[in-house]
Structure 1
Amino acid sequence: MKKMISKILFFALVAILALIFISPFMVMALTSFKTNNDAFTIPVKLFPRQWVKENYPAAFAAIPYFKYMGNTVFITAISLIGQLLVTPMVAYSLAKIKWKGADIISGLVMATMMIPITVTMVPLYKIYSKLGLTNTYVPLILPAFFGKAYYIVIVRQFFTGIPNSLIEAGKIDGATEFQRYYKIALPLCKPVLTTIGIYAFLDAWSDYLYPLIFITKPGMYTLSLGLQQYMSEYSVDWARLMAAAVVFVLPVIVCFGIFQKNFVEGIATSGLKA
């Protein structure tokens, strides 16, 4: 009986917390089916007084939504490939290859996580401007092919949990360093790669600051810039803006839903020690 009561209390607590976390999305989704007046009518009601489906096609018509989505998908896909290609290589070299200065480089990588983005914005803009790369997607994509410090630290921590005996067994069998990485270590880190893949997808998909800095041509805007344009160029119809925001958020929710199991497993195992 005590175990049953504890389980009921546990699931009740989880359900309450889940409801709290999902409530902003619920409000956004339900507001997208309201009229603009209904969204601000007092007393405020969670469900629409009148269900309006026209907000979605109206939001798509207000800005070149699918053009912006195509730009965002392109940037996100290339950035994701870069992160998943480079991050495990760097992490493996720091965790499993013995070379002078590996510990120092690992410390420097973690130290860069403490540098605020605002400190690097102006120098980065000047560099890319001198190279003539503003109003291109290079400043948004290129950094992914050098890895992100946070992702490198997570994957490195995962690699330290892999027994060295597995790597040494491959060495005894005559495998090269790259073969030991590609055929032994990399297949074992699928859960943590899923984790950083979701993080990288979310970062690239929802990035607003860097596109705002480097992109000024409207035809190259991402969805995050497009939503801001909708607010600035048109009278703010919050119901239609919520409709646009729902479509903007849906790919992230679908991605997380598909890879949720591996994501949780990656978070759980990335802190294990060998």
Structure 2
Amino acid sequence: MSDNQDFEKIKANDKARKLTSGVARYLLLTLWALIVLFPFYWMILTSFKSYSSYNGEYVPRLIITSPTVQNYISAFTEVSLGTYLVNTFIFTVVTTAIMLVIVVLSAFAFSRLEFPGKNLVFTMFLSLMMIPNELVIITNYVTITDLGMRNSFPGLVLPSVLSVFYIYLLKENFEQIPDELYKAAKVDGTSDMRYLRRVMIPIAKPTLITITILKVIECWNSYVWPRLITDDANYFLVSNGIQEIRENGFGRENIPAMMAAVVAISVPLMILFLIFRKKIMEGVARGGTKG
């Protein structure tokens, strides 16, 4: 009887510890989520405040009593936010499409084809990941300028179509596909391109989706290179357009209108990430797993 009581007591204590640990973990996660999400909440909240009500708040308010959409109307009528969004969309789609072609073909060549110096070339590729982008941006600027591509979409796109990291990620994923499939396809007379389209790309679809989404986010948030290679507002992207809006649009004091423009720019990426977040995690996990 005593043994049973001791067992029940130990079981109850273990259950209590697990419950306490679970509650503490969720409380910490909730607190961390509030800290991370508060800036987004404040951005959206401010975008619905009028200019007068925002400036009249001596103590910032965490709720809105009289919301307005005038800031969003101003963001698309008083400045060229629509043009910036269209430019960014074109830049993102074209850059991502070209990059996918290069990444897929390069990863296939490094993972399946045999050619002299393959390992040396791939090692040199990986060494490029250690070079900060800031060190090559001047060279890219001089090259694009000499080619007469400043203030043009080709000048924006070309330096952004290659990514060594994405080639490495996809190569690792391709190498998980059994060699027997490739050898069997070659015996049947299947060409390399047909095998790539029919076998490797469908199997690596989660990783390709991840690469696509990450590249879209990278292009959408691109700032340094577009700011350097363009001084014509007709080619500004949203990241550069925000600075232009701040300096020559609403003015530095109209914070609610600025927040409305930022929300309009941020919403597409937020929606994209929320829809494909599981695919991103799945693709990264597949790309980093061997065997």
The TM-score normalised by the length of structure 1 is 0.90
Does residue 185 of structure 2 align to residue 170 of structure 1? yes
- 2:260 equivalent in structure 1: 243
- 1:116 equivalent in structure 2: 132
Q: Report the CA distance shift for 1:111/1:191 in structure 2 as closer, same or farther (over 3 A).
A: same
Identify which of 245, 267, 274 aligns with 2:284. Answer: 267
Paired amino acid for 2:177: I
Identify which of 134, 147, 151 aligns with 1:135. Answer: 151
SS of the residue 2:243 aligns to? helix
Paired amino acid for 2:220: W
- The answer to whether the 8 A contact 2:140-2:159 is kept is no
Q: Report the CA distance shift for 1:9/1:42 in structure 2 as closer, same or farther (over 3 A).
A: same
- 2:4 equivalent in structure 1: none
- 1:104 equivalent in structure 2: 120
- The answer to whether the 8 A contact 1:55-1:243 is kept is yes
**1:188 to partner: Cα distance:** 0.7
Output the aligned Cα RMSD. 2.2
Does residue 127 of structure 2 align to residue 125 of structure 1? no
**Which residues of structure 1 form unaligned runs of 5+?**
none
- CA distance in 2 between partners of 1:249 and 1:43 (Å): 27
SS of the residue 1:272 aligns to? coil
Paired amino acid for 2:49: K
- CA distance in 2 between partners of 1:135 and 1:221 (Å): 9
SS of the residue 1:113 aligns to? helix
**Which residues of structure 2 form unaligned runs of 5+?**
1-14
- CA distance in 2 between partners of 1:35 and 1:191 (Å): 44
| Greater mean deviation of Cα atoms: 47-56 or 243-252 | 47-56
- 1:255 equivalent in structure 2: 272
- CA distance in 1 between partners of 2:75 and 2:229 (Å): 25
SS of the residue 2:124 aligns to? helix
**1:50 to partner: Cα distance:** 3.7
SS of the residue 1:44 aligns to? coil
- CA distance in 2 between partners of 1:255 and 1:19 (Å): 21
Q: Report the CA distance shift for 1:180/1:231 in structure 2 as closer, same or farther (over 3 A).
A: same
SS of the residue 2:130 aligns to? coil
- CA distance in 1 between partners of 2:47 and 2:74 (Å): 11
- The answer to whether the 8 A contact 1:30-1:48 is kept is yes
Matches within 5 A, 1:33-48: 33-36=48-51, 39=54, 41-48=57-64
Larger Rg computed on CA atoms: 2
Q: Report the CA distance shift for 1:14/1:155 in structure 2 as closer, same or farther (over 3 A).
A: farther
| Greater mean deviation of Cα atoms: 245-254 or 105-114 | 105-114
Does residue 202 of structure 2 align to residue 187 of structure 1? yes
Does residue 79 of structure 2 align to residue 63 of structure 1? yes
**1:220 to partner: Cα distance:** 1.9
- CA distance in 1 between partners of 2:129 and 2:54 (Å): 41
- The answer to whether the 8 A contact 2:170-2:208 is kept is yes
- The answer to whether the 8 A contact 2:208-2:283 is kept is yes
- The answer to whether the 8 A contact 1:139-1:214 is kept is yes
- The answer to whether the 8 A contact 1:192-1:265 is kept is yes
**1:16 to partner: Cα distance:** 4.2
Does residue 95 of structure 2 align to residue 79 of structure 1? yes
Identify which of 237, 243, 246 aligns with 1:228. Answer: 243
- The answer to whether the 8 A contact 2:144-2:150 is kept is yes
- The answer to whether the 8 A contact 1:63-1:226 is kept is no
The TM-score normalised by the length of structure 2 is 0.85
**1:152 to partner: Cα distance:** 1.0
- The answer to whether the 8 A contact 1:194-1:266 is kept is yes
- 2:232 equivalent in structure 1: 217
